[in-house]
Amino acid sequence: MKKRLKWIIVGLTAVLGVFVVLFVIKSEQKTIEPAAAVLVQDTIVPANLLFEIDIDSFDVIQSTIKRNEFLANILLPYSIDYGTIDALAKKSKAIFDVRRIAVGQDYTLLIGKDSTRKAAYFIYEIDAVDYVVYDLRDSIVIERKKRPIETKMQTAAGIINSSLYQTLQESNANPFLAVKLADIFAWSIDFYRIQKGDWFKVIYEEKFVDGNSIGVGKIEAVEFKHFDRSYLAFGYDVEGKREYYDEEANSLRKAFLKSPLKFSRLSSRFTMRRFHPVQKRWKAHLGTDYAAPRGTPILATSDGVVIKSAYGRGNGNYVKLRHNSVYETQYLHMSKRNAKVGKQVRQGDVIGYVGSTGLATGPHVCYRFWKNGKQVDHLREDFPSAEPISPEIKAAFELKRDSLQTDLNTITIDD
């Protein structure tokens, strides 16, 4: 009996030992599995992305659109047939019309690495920001996308020795700022008369894609010293539109632009006695001549209606506008008119192009100005400002103005 009891105890002990071993193994497995999972996750290699597409399984072909190159020329060599190309063009029209594919623009093909060498994706870059992805793998899927834009606040300053454009280049600033500044001060500074020694400070936004500048954004503040007078401009958004005001919150927009051309050379002023270069005699010149290359756009200097658009022996192609009961303007010697009688025009609209028609020795526009029916020198007129900033937002504007003025004061100008 004792011997039998002994074997029973031994057997139970063995069974219990087996259960203990199994339990320990099970527990170890549970603690090891999460560690192994974390280890695998940490060693995953990120996908190689281009236009947000994993390109590891494709050959990448990048090129630019060449003259007489169309979608068919690009896709046919990579097993995309005419039927698919036609379907792609029709489906794409609502997103991007493929007929607008332009010479010099970049595109990318992602080609399968198998023996068919079939194009899986075609990506066309509309500009530095926008692009269109054509997914050709199964049914055609088309998406228009944008590259992420980074906006940086920049400053620039310089003393003008030749031109504003060249000074900006020498200051390593974006030269397109010259156009922006001409727009902001169009009512107060004659940019054709900028002189040596004038200087500027500007705070502005510059936009970048992949580290490359793609242009100038909003101008925040400018100080421009011209003919010993300092002009200030502070940007402020009103109802979603950027407007510019001086230090006293008066709008920089006035009733008339200083000139009907953005950039040119003032070649002859308003005078009662000038030797006419064609007629070879002394006579009054009741206008202001701005010389510029043929085809330069001529702008309406203020809102108005076209009252004349014709050709005259002396005036050549010309357009005349009535702005209100007081003011009229006329633009002579155009190569081509772009305004019909009765048409309403807005300030800055293109109403024609510089030429040398009529009695003219070279391409220019003769700009004439009437006040109360009498021709006057527009450069001597003191036009009223547009509406100042509204009282409701004046306090907020002044707070921003003071901050920007402090920033302008910290900008130094190298001699």
- Tens of each residue's pLDDT in the chain, 415 residues: 445 545 555 555 554 554 444 444 444 444 434 333 333 334 444 558 899 999 998 999 999 999 999 999 999 999 999 999 999 999 999 999 999 999 999 999 999 999 889 999 999 999 999 999 999 998 899 999 999 999 999 999 999 988 888 888 888 888 889 889 988 988 888 777 788 899 999 999 999 998 999 999 999 999 999 988 899 999 999 988 899 999 999 998 888 888 999 876 787 776 755 545 555 554 567 888 999 999 999 999 998 899 999 999 889 999 999 998 789 999 999 999 999 999 999 889 999 999 999 988 889 999 999 988 999 998 888 777 778 888 999 999 999 999 999 999 999 987 6
Residue 396 has a pLDDT of: 96
- What pTM value is reported for the model? 0.66
Cβ within 8 Å of residue 361, ≥6 positions away: 277, 278
Residue 45 has a pLDDT of: 42
How many whole angstroms separate alpha carbon 186 and alpha carbon 263?
11
Decide: 157 and 167 in contact? Cβ < 8 Å: no
Tokens of 296: 């330069």
Residue type, 14: A
Radius of gyration of the chain (CA): 36
Which domains does the chain show, CATH number per domain?
A: 49-146 (3.10.450.350), 149-254+384-415 (3.10.450.350), 265-380 (2.70.70.10)
